[in-house]
């Protein structure tokens, strides 16, 4: 059967998926909103289709519009990219029920991993190490609550089972604050997610964020592509990522990865996925699984040489992965800086027209971007306009190349966070590596303190 892919996303990731389609000789259709219609990556696509107005709710989040676009253009597969509908089980289900192929795991796996209590239970059942916490949903009874928290040990974090994007969480330091914190988080969860189920975990004080990339082909082959460190975060948004995670014991990664792959088999997982962990005192603790492509996938591609997006497409078409764990080798170190259109002081989005854009040619640099001089960054969407990825023989080599790359990227007309990246690369703690997830927030708060 000849396939055709509907790319149900925008910006840099749409262009990335286009490239993977081209490398596989797969025809594709680029879906776009009215706001994205003039963009070069839309106009230069083999085919494009406008799915609705600029507002994401009426375009990139409109399941029926996307499915109608697939049918109208004869697409047989739908790649959701990241964000938007990529982790919406209902979309995966709708796509499948329409006789189309969703480039991602089965709807059931998305649903199970999207509910954090059920994800946690799946991981415990497959022996993936989890943070000490409550077994299921929290009861309302204050005495029962206190008993659960006392068993876990303070501080604890109350989390909404349906939470996401860093919302629906509250840290509780002492027993006296527990009942109120649970009531507040429950109310927030009900309003924000329409699901008031909560659970408790021990709150780790100085963890790092370490994650594992997996690929499963639906023919029994599940492999991992190693780990990434994404500890440099601002308000739970990743800013710089790297692979591999500095100083983390390789045996630990292999042991935990083996458990993750077992979890994938246990839930009949298919496609690419990421297991996110907090890392503290030499141990990894599962926090959630992302059942989609990650923004930071290129650092893993750089050190393994595996094209993760092409693998997703091939798996979706039913092909075997054609790779075993032994085929995966790791070479050097890679780092990624997310380039955002944002005001460097207020860190709020800075949409507008780019009057100048140029980038240097540097060995080991990969620039993932859909922007160019004359491109207008629309105000409706995420402020990510590109990613710079450098690959070097080791971490310091990758950082040196990144510093050169950032010095050479010239942008005018909009504000960006490039200067922030340049400063971060010169920071002695970051240069050493292994900083915790609160490091960047603290650094920025100190700088802006009166």
Instruction: Indicate which residues carry an active-site annotation.
Output: 292
Question: CB atoms < 10 A from the CB of 412, how many?
Answer: 13
Tokens 């042991």 map to which residue? 255
Burial class (CB in 10 A: 0-12, 13-18, 19+), 190: middle
C-alpha triplet 201, 251, 325: angle, nearest 5°: 105
Question: CB atoms < 10 A from the CB of 280, how many?
Answer: 15
Question: CB atoms < 10 A from the CB of 219, how many?
Answer: 13
For the chain, the distance separating the N- and C-terminal CA atoms, rounded to the nearest angstrom, is 64
Q: Rounded CA gap, 216 and 272, in Å?
A: 7
Question: CB atoms < 10 A from the CB of 361, how many?
Answer: 8
Q: Rounded CA gap, 47 and 29, in Å?
A: 5
Nearest of 432, 367, 377 to residue 406 by alpha carbon: 367
Closest approach of ligand ADP to the CB of residue 328, in Å:
26
* Pairing state between β 384-392 and 333-340: antiparallel
Tokens 């990139």 map to which residue? 60
Task: For 332-370, give the secondary structure using H, E and C.
Answer: CEEEEEEEECECCCCCCECCEECCEEECCCCCCEEEEEC
Q: Hey, is 248 helix, strand or coil? A: coil
Which positions lie near ligand ADP, rule CB under 6 A? 131, 157, 163-167, 169, 201, 203-204, 207, 209, 236, 276, 278, 287-288, 437
Asked if 385 and 364 count as a contact pair (C-beta separation under 8 A), the reply is no
* Pairing state between β 271-280 and 283-290: antiparallel
Burial class (CB in 10 A: 0-12, 13-18, 19+), 450: exposed
Question: CB atoms < 10 A from the CB of 385, how many?
Answer: 25
Q: Hey, is 422 helix, strand or coil? A: helix
Nearest of 181, 177, 159 to residue 168 by alpha carbon: 159
**Residues written for the chain:** 450
Asked if 136 and 121 count as a contact pair (C-beta separation under 8 A), the reply is yes
- Nearer of residues 338 and 391 to ligand ADP, judged by Cβ: 338
């Amino acid at each position: 059967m000849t396939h055709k892919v509907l790319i149900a996303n925008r910006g840099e990731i749409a262009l990335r998926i286009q490239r993977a389609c081209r490398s596989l000789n797969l025809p594709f259709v680029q879906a776009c909103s009215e706001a994205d219609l003039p963009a070069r990556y839309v106009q230069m696509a083999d085919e494009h289709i406008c799915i609705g107005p600029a507002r994401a709710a009426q375009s990139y989040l409109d399941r029926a519009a996307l499915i109608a676009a697939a049918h109208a253009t004869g697409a047989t597969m739908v790649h959701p990219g990241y964000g938007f509908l990529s982790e919406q089980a209902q979309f995966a289900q709708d796509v499948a029920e329409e006789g189309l192929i969703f480039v991602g795991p089965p709807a059931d796996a998305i649903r199970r991993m999207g509910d954090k209590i059920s994800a946690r239970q799946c991981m415990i059942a497959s022996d993936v190490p989890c943070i000490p916490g409550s077994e299921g949903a929290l009861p309302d009874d204050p005495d029962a609550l206190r008993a659960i928290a006392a068993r876990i040990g303070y501080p604890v974090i109350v989390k909404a089972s349906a939470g996401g994007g860093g919302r629906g969480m509250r840290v509780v330091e002492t027993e006296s604050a527990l009942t109120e914190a649970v009531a507040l988080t429950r109310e927030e969860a009900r309003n924000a997610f329409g699901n008031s189920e909560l659970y408790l975990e021990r709150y780790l004080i100085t963890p790092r964020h370490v994650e594992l990339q997996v690929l499963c082909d639906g023919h029994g082959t599940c492999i991992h592509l190693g780990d990434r460190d994404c500890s440099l975060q601002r308000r739970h948004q990743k800013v710089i990522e790297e692979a591999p995670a500095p100083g983390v014991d390789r045996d630990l990664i292999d042991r935990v990865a083996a458990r993750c792959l077992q979890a994938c088999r246990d839930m009949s997982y298919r496609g690419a996925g990421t297991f996110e962990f907090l890392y503290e005192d030499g141990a990894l603790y599962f926090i959630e699984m992302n059942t989609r492509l990650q923004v930071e996938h290129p650092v893993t591609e750089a050190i393994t040489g595996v094209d993760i997006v092409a693998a997703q497409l091939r798996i979706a078409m039913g092909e075997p992965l054609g790779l075993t764990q032994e085929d995966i080798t790791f070479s050097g170190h890679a780092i990624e800086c997310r380039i955002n259109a944002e005001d460097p002081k207020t860190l709020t989005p800075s949409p507008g027209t780019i009057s100048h854009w140029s980038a240097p040619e540097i060995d080991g640099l990969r620039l993932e971007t859909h922007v160019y001089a004359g491109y207008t960054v629309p105000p409706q969407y995420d402020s990510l306009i590109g990613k710079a990825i450098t690959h070097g023989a080791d971490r310091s080599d990758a950082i040196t190349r990144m510093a050169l790359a950032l010095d050479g990227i010239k942008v005018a007309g909009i504000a960006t966070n490039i200067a922030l990246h340049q400063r971060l690369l010169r920071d002695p703690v970051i240069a050493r590596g292994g900083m915790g997830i609160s490091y960047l927030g603290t650094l920025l708060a100190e700088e802006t303190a009166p």
